[in-house]
Amino acid sequence: MNLKIAVLAGDGIGPEVILQAKKALYAISVAYDHEFIFEDALIGATAIEKTRSPLPEQTLNLCLNTDAVLFGAIGNPKYDNNPDAKIRPEQGLLRLRKELGLYANIRPIKPFKNLLDASPIKKEVIENVDFVIFRELTGGSYYGEKVINEEGTFASDICEYSENEINRITHQAFKAAQSRRKKVTLVDKANVLETSRLWRKIVKKIATQYPDVKLECQYIDNVAMQIITDPKQYDVILTENLFGDILSDEACAIMGSIGLMASASIGDKNALFEPIHGSYPQAKGKNIANPIASILSAAMLLQHFGLEKEAKKVYEAVEKAIEYKVVTIDLNPGSRFGTNDVGDFISNVI
Amino acid sequence: MNLKIAVLAGDGIGPEVILQAKKALYAISVAYDHEFIFEDALIGATAIEKTRSPLPEQTLNLCLNTDAVLFGAIGNPKYDNNPDAKIRPEQGLLRLRKELGLYANIRPIKPFKNLLDASPIKKEVIENVDFVIFRELTGGSYYGEKVINEEGTFASDICEYSENEINRITHQAFKAAQSRRKKVTLVDKANVLETSRLWRKIVKKIATQYPDVKLECQYIDNVAMQIITDPKQYDVILTENLFGDILSDEACAIMGSIGLMASASIGDKNALFEPIHGSYPQAKGKNIANPIASILSAAMLLQHFGLEKEAKKVYEAVEKAIEYKVVTIDLNPGSRFGTNDVGDFISNVI
Ligand SMILES: CC(C)[C@H](C(=O)O)[C@@H](O)C(=O)O
Ligand SMILES: CC(C)[C@H](C(=O)O)[C@@H](O)C(=O)O
């Protein structure tokens, strides 16, 4: 297969971990006789510094015209500590998601057998956990109108959802459930929010088209607890943008490290693959960042294009690295292996 | 001391658990020579059934003219499953909070020594955890304008905050931190939301008036993870309404049961005390609901009126019940003790 892949390494540890994902993809292309062409482009704080825009037009055009985007990380504390900054790195990612129409963010939670002890949660609670979060990614309060008055004494954010936005991701979630354990849990706050009531109404209607899938509705506050106390109950979690952001980071506690969590953001035409972790500026350039999330995002890319065997190969290579403890210090405090070593080991196993 | 206390038992298990809180308060009044006068009133689904209003005027007037409100639980699945219901039990609680001006919801998280094993989280992660959540309770998307179009194909919720709303709870949180470990963590999503940026700006300004208190700002997604992976870092968590709702339920995982979590909702004139758990309709009338959250809410009531000794007495009686395993089945699956037994034991120890 021929694939043209845009590589947006971004800020902080982004470039270091993305390099390892590229190595893994290169190893796959050699082993399975594919051709992957990578093209780098700027995004985030790095792009602001060079072009004054967090998403230069050149980057956007490239992404619109490639098969897939491999994304590193975004964010720089410099901007966080300046609430008046008008241009911020995150805007680049948010605009990119919107322009590419990446409405479904998919985040699988399945702890590695050899890492069950790395989680702060008890082994018996998390073993055999296997669920996936379908987070709506181009709507909600991320994109609704934002207001701040001139005196800086009042602000507002609107959370909006339309039927169409809810429809498309709901169908994705139900289809995924059909090839899994056939259960969808809709997470909302329908006892308070109007948008949640709209979600509930539409999702219930769609559910009747999937009689083999069971639908359950739970409140976000309850789920925030149950994901820790009883995570085995979940198969597919379907939710809006902000709730999905919160729950998927929370679910990292099950995996043992945020450095293990991959994600795919899918639209009707485009697809982007990125680790869940952020730019982790304190670790930048130190060769200590965990590249596994990035490498697993590359595996999700392969899977997206139907390259199941190849995706499995990457996953197994990651498992091997974990089994042999070729991991970074977040997973083994005394580890002598750095970002590069882990990446090399995995691509060699491939 | 003379106190007039409005008792709003509400729905589901509300009446059962509130009865135990009343017993405990009665025992305190006898032991310490106080006079507590209880007056019952309707709220929630129970009130809707009898008066068609989730918060009858009579109830509101009573609450406005008492020293404190003791609150049970609210909610009935009948209404959740009907997204078109115009009258819902939760509206009663939300309006009550607003009318009484209860802007600060305070939720302490401090696991019991004898219950460290009840949590799904490892003992070494949660022992010595001791933090308190200050949740803003009368603003944000709970109270902003809600829109649903006629065709039911579009909905929106506004999240709004003004300087004044942020000010008052921020001062409460910093004052609380001064008599604790002197650290406030502001939780927001300032990389996306305008309201979060307003919070950050105002809270940072106020922080300069409390030079002995350290302020840290963290994103909600990150905190949703850190509360599980490293909860010891927190002392006072300060946040807006919805984020506080999510985080405080999540923190129940640390306590081992949601049946242990008490809360106080404080305004400039009024105060309300309620367990965090909901109405748990499946358990209604079965004498299995855990009354401890309710009893600890009564302890927070005593503390609010400066009755420190008395509050401590209640807390110690609860500890004794836990030590002697006089607890409900949520804490000890084989327990032969019911709601009433636990309540009796605790008030006898007092
Ligand atoms: C960086 C930030 C804007 C982003 C989000 O909130 O979506 C991140 O937390 C994520 O989950 O991808
Ligand atoms: C019942 C519901 C409206 C309420 C809330 O969301 O505030 C509850 O979850 C709580 O935390 O007290």
Q: Is A240 inside any structural domain?
A: yes
The whole-angstrom distance between A35's CA and the closest CA on chain B is 37
**A61 C-beta neighbours (distance < 10 Å), count:** 13
Quick one: A127 and A238 in the same domain? yes
B74 lines ligand 2 (CB under 6 A): yes
**B336 C-beta neighbours (distance < 10 Å), count:** 8
C-alpha span between B301 and B311 (Å, rounded): 8
Q: Examine the pLDDT at A319 and tell me if it is beyond 80.
A: yes
Ligand 2, atom 9: nearest CA belongs to which residue?
Answer: B245
Q: Is B71 inside any structural domain?
A: yes
DSSP 8-state assignment for residue B121: B
Q: Is A112 inside any structural domain?
A: no
> What's B129's domain CATH number?
3.40.718.10
Quick one: B191 and B158 in the same domain? yes
Q: Is B155 inside any structural domain?
A: yes
Q: What is the mean pLDDT of residues B111-136?
A: 96
Q: Domain ends where: A205, A234, A255?
A: A255
Q: Is A74 inside any structural domain?
A: yes
Ligand 2, atom 11: nearest CA belongs to which residue?
Answer: B245
Q: What is the mean pLDDT of residues B102-120?
A: 95
Quick one: B262 and B239 in the same domain? no
Q: Domain ends where: A213, A233, A255?
A: A255
Quick one: B323 and B342 in the same domain? yes
Q: Examine the pLDDT at B249 and tell me if it is beyond 80.
A: yes
Quick one: A148 and A273 in the same domain? no
A208 lines ligand 2 (CB under 6 A): no
Per-residue pLDDT at B81: 67
Query: Across the interface, do B156 and A152 touch by the CB < 8 Å criterion?
Result: no
Query: Across the interface, do A159 and B161 touch by the CB < 8 Å criterion?
Result: no
Estimate the share of chain B in helix, then strand, then coil, as percent rounded to the nearest 5. Answer: 45, 20, 30
Quick one: A270 and A297 in the same domain? yes
Q: Is B114 inside any structural domain?
A: no
A90 lines ligand 1 (CB under 6 A): yes
Q: Examine the pLDDT at B98 and tell me if it is beyond 70.
A: yes
Write the CB contacts of A111 (distance below 8 Å, at least 6 apart in sequence): A119, A126, A127, A129, A254, A255, A256
Query: Residues A242-294: pLDDT tens digits?
Result: 999 999 999 999 998 899 999 999 999 999 999 999 999 999 999 999 999 99
Q: Examine the pLDDT at B115 and tell me if it is beyond 70.
A: yes
Q: Examine the pLDDT at A127 and tell me if it is beyond 80.
A: yes
DSSP 8-state assignment for residue B240: -
User: By three-state DSSP, how is residue A168 classified?
Assistant: helix
Per-residue pLDDT at A15: 97
**Number of independent structural domains in chain B:** 2
Quick one: B187 and B207 in the same domain? yes
Average pLDDT score, chain A: 96
C-alpha span between A96 and A279 (Å, rounded): 17
Most B CBs within 10 Å: which of A76, A115, A192, as the mutation test of the B interface?
A192
Angle between helices A57-64 and A89-99 (to 10 degrees): 30
Q: Examine the pLDDT at B208 and tell me if it is beyond 80.
A: yes
Residue B39's domain spans which residues? 1-105+258-350
Furthest C-alpha separation in chain A: 61
C-alpha span between B267 and B38 (Å, rounded): 21
Q: Examine the pLDDT at A42 and tell me if it is beyond 90.
A: yes
Q: Examine the pLDDT at A43 and tell me if it is beyond 70.
A: yes
In sequence order, which ranges of A54-207 are alpha helices (DSSP H)? 57-64, 77-80, 89-99, 123-126, 163-178, 194-207
Most A CBs within 10 Å: which of B246, B252, B276, as the mutation test of the A interface?
B246
- The 3-class secondary structure across B256-283, one letter per residue, is CCHHHCEEEEECCCCEEEEECCCCCHHH
Quick one: A247 and A128 in the same domain? yes
Q: What is the mean pLDDT of residues B171-177?
A: 98
Per-residue pLDDT at B78: 84
Q: Is A97 inside any structural domain?
A: yes
Quick one: B100 and B6 in the same domain? yes
- Backbone torsions φ then ψ of A132, nearest 5 degrees: -135, 135
Indicate the top mutation candidate among A11, A71, A80, A93 to test ligand 1's pocket, ranked by most ligand atoms within 8 A of CB.
Answer: A93
Per-residue pLDDT at A77: 84
Distance B101 CA to ligand 2 centre (A): 16
C-alpha span between B262 and B265 (Å, rounded): 10
Quick one: B135 and B241 in the same domain? yes
Least confident segment among B22-26, B205-209, B277-281: B277-281
B245 lines ligand 2 (CB under 6 A): yes
Quick one: B127 and B232 in the same domain? yes
Per-residue pLDDT at A232: 98
Per-residue pLDDT at B132: 98
Q: Is B249 a catalytic residue?
A: yes
Average pLDDT score, chain B: 96
Q: Is B111 inside any structural domain?
A: no
Per-residue pLDDT at B77: 84
Q: Examine the pLDDT at A296 and tell me if it is beyond 90.
A: yes
The whole-angstrom distance between A308's CA and the closest CA on chain B is 31
Per-residue pLDDT at A86: 82
Q: Domain ends where: A218, A239, A255?
A: A255
The whole-angstrom distance between A34's CA and the closest CA on chain B is 37
Per-residue pLDDT at B83: 60
Quick one: B134 and B230 in the same domain? yes
Query: Residues A196-226: pLDDT tens digits?
Result: 999 999 999 999 999 999 999 999 999 999 9
- Count chain A–chain B contacts defined by CB atoms under 8 A: 178
Position B253 confidence tier, pLDDT thresholds 50, 70, 90: very high
Query: Across the interface, do B154 and A141 touch by the CB < 8 Å criterion?
Result: no
* Ligand lying nearest the CA atom of residue B193: 1
Least confident segment among A7-11, A75-79, A272-276: A75-79
Query: Residues B39-84: pLDDT tens digits?
Result: 999 999 999 999 999 999 999 999 999 999 999 999 988 887 666 6
C-alpha span between A171 and A305 (Å, rounded): 19
Query: Residues A104-119: pLDDT tens digits?
Result: 999 999 999 999 999 9
